[in-house]
Every structure is written in structure tokens, then in C-alpha cells.
A and B are shown apart, each in its own frame.
Chain A
Amino acid sequence: MPFHPPISRLCRRLVLAGLLAAIVPAAASAQLIIRIDDPNFEPLPIAIVAPQASAGEERTTAEQIAGVVTGNLERSGLFRAIDPDAFVQRDGSEVLAPRFNDWKGIGADALVTGRVFHRTNGDIRIEFRLWDVSTGRQLVGRALETRRVNWRRLAHKMSDAIYQRLTGESGYFDTRIVYVAESGPVLSRVKRLAIMDQDGANHRYLTNGENLVLTPRFAPSVQEITYLEFVGQKPRVYILDIDTGQREIVGDFDGMTFAPRFSPDGNKIVLSMSRDGNAEIFAMDLRTRATERLTNHQAIDTSPSFSPDGSKIAFDSDRSGRQKIYVMNADGSGVRRISNRPGRYATPVWSPRGDLIAFTKILEGIFYIGVMQPDGEGERILAQGYLTEGPTWSPNGRVLMYYKKRRGGTAQLYSIDLTGRNERLVETPVSASDPAWSPLLKN
């Protein structure tokens, strides 16, 4: 099992050492940018040179970092990494003085070079540069330092810097996924909370499988998750501290509580409670423990999700006779239905950018993952299947992850770009459902 230091220690250790060189004004390199939403989009060819390193151990780490960065960028679907066997300049001089014609010659538009150092105090430092091959300009020059055991985070932050500079969007590689790992027979499925880095590394289980657990979601701090656990035949919402393993029940309610989500500031949890048999939406202030009832209707009101500014809550309800998506103010006022097309609409999840709401749709026996604007307009279907539900957003609002089960199969995680391109299986050790994507990790 990989060692997981508490986040707070990471905070002290991971030093963003700052720019090595001045950033070139954006206008000067405007030509090298990936236009993700262009229908004629093609992945950008990029040469990622393993960072230079002196000792054997450093060299191994350097190769591993290059591998993680290459994997991240390729999985995004926006980059095509050029095979290192094709590299012409490979004498070490490329680190600071690339021969751009050599890189042009093998078809690279962008080039990544760098150096790795192991410090005597156990730290690792990487200095890397992103180059625009056609103009010969340096687009990013940055140094990152942390304890050696956290070298993968250096690779993820490096990937984020490259992604951000070339797409104009913030990255999402320095993140984690919490999900429900499923094993055992269908009729007595064992479900465990599991957490892993966005690329599947550092996988570990957070619960032992004794109790049924469902629907984990991250706190904005990324240190806690809220989820549903059946404890002694009582399904209740809990908060789990990822590093300490400490578990705390949310609220002291008689009835089942479920469908929890944090507010964007992390101070509240919004959830469904079914006390007299009917699910209503409540908000609980985690500091004062005060609860506020937000809906009051004989229908099932559930799957609440805050807008990123905290002012509104989207949820689903069958109050019209069929499950549809509604938006209300955070105090429960001003409820209005936003999904008006045929079919059942469920699990609204507000994009971190606020511009879209992802949802699950069920129409004529098929499940769909889609997005719509918060006013209900502009619906676009991105993925479909026999059973697929529960979208979660990458922190930059660019990628969705969800689970999908084929007829006769078991659940697996998938991710897809907002354009509907690049649907990918997210590898997990066992069958997987209910993914939740963390915000970017804090330094």
C-alpha cells in the first residue's frame, strides 16, 4: 500500500518554487493553442523528453515522470506524444538549447525538456520548460520541489502547467478520484469506498466492505468526503476524513438520509431525508449543526447540487409525475423546472465553471449522460448505455466521469470530453461505480 502523507504535510513540503524565466507575453505565442471546441480539432503533437538526471536513481525517476506526463496529456485526447525513438536531439543540450529545426523535423509543435535533482534532504526538484517549436519561444519555465515519495504530484503539476498553457484552461491532473469499488456476486454485492489519483495510481480502500456504502463526494478541501453508509440497517449520511479515517454522522435524524453534497464553501451539506417515507431536501450547517428544510412536496426530491457560487441548488423531483430537473435558490425559494423534454431527468451536477449542468437521462430504456445550461436550454447528449449515471466534473469543467454498465456486464468508470470526444475506460482494480472527482489538490 503506498504511503499517504496527510495533506497538511504535503502543503508545507510541496513548494512551487516559481518561474525560472519570465513568461512570454500571451500574444507572442497565440499561434500555439489547442482549440478544443473546433470541430476540425486534431491532437497537438508534443515531444516530451525525459528530464535530464545524473545518478541512476534520479534517471529512473526522470523516466517515470516523463511517463506520467505523457500518459496524462495523451488521455486528455488533446495531445499526441511523439515516440521518443524518433527524437533527433538527445545529447542533453536540448534541456536549455533545443535545436528547433530538429524538433520541427519530427513533427513536434511543442517540446518539453527539464532536469531532475534528488536533494540530500530527501526532496526531489524538477525544473522544466515548455517550448513552442515553430517560434523557438519558451512558453513555461518552472521549478517544483517536494519529498521524493510524492514525485507523482510533480508530474501531475507539470502536466497541469503544460495543459493550461496550451489550452487556455486550467488543468485537472493533480486530482484524485473517490469511487465505490464493487466485488462479489450481484445478489450480495460488496461495496467499498476507494480512492486513487486521477491516473489510477496510489489506489487504496477507505472502507472494509462490511457495510454498504454509496455516492461519495469530495469536500472542497479534498480532505473529507461525504457519502451514504448503511450502519446497522440505518442508511445515513457520513463524513469521512480521508487521512485519519475518522467517520462522523451528519445530523441526528430519525429517517434515512442520503444523496449528500458539500456546498462550494464546504460549510454546508445538502442532502435528502426521508423521515415520514418521503424524501425532502435539507441543508445542514456543519458549524452550527442547524438544519433547514428546503423542499416540501409529496414527491421524491433528491440529488441536490449547489451552483459553484452557492446561490442556487439543482435537484431532481417526480413532482410532475416523472423525474425532472429543477433549480431553486439556496434557501428553497423560487423553484422552477428546467428540463422540459420527454424522459426522466436526474442527478443534476453543476459544473465548477457554472455554465452547465450535467445530468442522467432515461428515455425508452436507454440511459444517457448529457449537459444543459442552467436555464435548461442547449441540451447535449455525450454518452449513452444500458445503464450509465452519476456524472462528476473535472475541476476545470472540461471532462465528465460517470459509471456505465453494459447489459450482462458489471459497472466501470468512464470519462469523456465535453465535446463528446474521447470516451475512455478509467481502469480500476475491480468493478467501479459512483465516481467523484476531487478539486485540484491544495499545495
Chain B
Amino acid sequence: MKLRLALVVLAIGLASVSCSTKSKDSAGSNRVSESELARPGPGRSWQDYTAPSRNGYSDRVFFAYDRFDLDEGAQATIRAWSEWLRAHGDASILVEGHADERGTREYNLGLGAKRATAIRDMLIALGVNAGRIRTISYGKERPAVAGDDESAYQQNRRGVARPSTGGA
């Protein structure tokens, strides 16, 4: 156990070295520089992690009209969520499924549920414990963007992850 812990510490140390972005040549070639590693580790908040300006991750994925399948961009985002969840073992996640307003109200509740479930299933496939994931469908009731045009519809056909600490 102690050995394993040591190895992990060593591995993190090595990763930090390999990811160092600053090196001060002027101080001599033997000098080891240090910098923070962008990682989904403890202390890195969900808001920070999913801020698009930081690393391109997002708290949401988008769907095609009347579809609930996950395209490659959505899958990459969900993979990033699973990594954050791995690093935050005490966190659980609420996955919201949303639809645009171009469907009937009740069907869209069903569609939102399918979208949230598709995300949940992928997180489980990536190793996240099912007990840490809750889903909810809002159908077309909680648009992200106001507007009666395709660009608004696109942004409203979405799945959104909201973490919370404590049990799901």
C-alpha cells in the first residue's frame, strides 16, 4: 500500500515535470521549474473546470433535432465530466435533458429524459458509479436561450451536468 502510494506520488511528480510550461534557461540547465498542472483534481471546481475559456470543456452537450444520440464532441465533453467525477469522489451529478420548443410538450419531456439517460449511460460506461448520477427532464420548459430561430433551438437541445457534493 505504501509502495503504491509512493508510486502515485512519483507519477504525479513526473507528470508535472513533463507538463511544465516554464523553464528558466538563464538560471542554468540543471534547474527544475515548476508550474500547476491543469487537471480535474481535488480543489478544481466544476465551474472552473467547465469554463469554456479555460480548456474547452463545457457543462453542456448538444443534440440534433428529435435525436438523443451523442456525437463526438458530446462524447469528449462527457469523458471530461467522468474524469472530474473520478477526481471528486464525494461529488454526485445531476444531468438535465432539455429540448427545443419545436416538439409537443409531453413528447419533449420524454425526449429530454432520453437525452439525459444517454449521457448517464455513457458516464456509467466510463466507470462512474450509477448511484452518483441523477437525471431529470425539463422537456422544453427551461430554454437556455430565448428566441424563435434555429440558432436558439440548437442551444436549447442540450444536456447539462450540475454537480453537487453529497449523495445523489
Contacts and interface: CB of A to CB of B under 8 A. Distances in A.
B117 interface: yes
Interface stretch (B6-14, B15-23, B46-54, B101-109): B101-109
Nearest to A434: B105
A274 B110 contact: yes
B148 A386 contact: yes
B106 A277 contact: no
Contact of A187 (B117, B121, B144, B148): B144
Contacts of B110: 258, 272, 274, 278-279, 300-302
Interface residues of B, number: 31
Interface in A295-330: 300-303, 316, 318, 322-323
A279 B113 contact: yes
A437 B117 CA distance: 34
Question: Quick one: which of B105, B109, B135, B136 has the most chain A CB within 10 A?
Answer: B105
Nearest to B162: A233
A362 interface: yes
A188 B142 CA distance: 7
Interface string A235-264: 100000000000000000001101100000
B137 A235 contact: yes
Contacts of B157: none
Contact of A387 (B101, B143, B145): B101
Given A233-B136, A274-B113, A390 B104 contact: yes
Contact of B141 (A189, A279, A316, A365): A189
B70 to A, nearest CB: 13
A256 B109 contact: yes
Interface residues on A, range: 35 or more
B107 A256 contact: no
Given A187-B144, A272-B106, A277 B117 contact: yes
Given A256-B137, A362-B102, A278 B107 contact: no
A189 B143 CA distance: 9
A275 B144 CA distance: 25
B107 A302 contact: yes
B106 A347 contact: yes
B146 interface: yes
A235 B104 CA distance: 17
B114 interface: yes
Contacts of A259: 106, 109
Contacts of A228: 109
Question: Quick one: which of B102, B110, B146 has the most chain A CB within 10 A?
Answer: B110
A362 B103 contact: yes
Given A186-B143, A235-B136, A408 B103 contact: no
Interface string B73-111: 000000000000000000000100000011111110111
Interface string A165-191: 000000000000000000001111101
A226 interface: no
B120 interface: yes
20 contacts: A186-B143, A212-B138, A228-B109, A233-B136, A235-B137, A256-B113, A256-B136, A274-B137, A278-B110, A279-B109, A279-B110, A302-B107, A303-B104, A322-B66, A323-B103, A344-B104, A346-B106, A360-B104, A387-B102, A389-B104
Interface of B: 66, 94, 101-107, 109-111, 113-114, 116-118, 120-121, 134-138, 141-146, 148
10 closest A-B pairs by beta carbon, nearest first, are: A277-B117, A300-B110, A279-B110, A346-B104, A186-B146, A259-B106, A274-B113, A407-B148, A302-B106, A303-B106
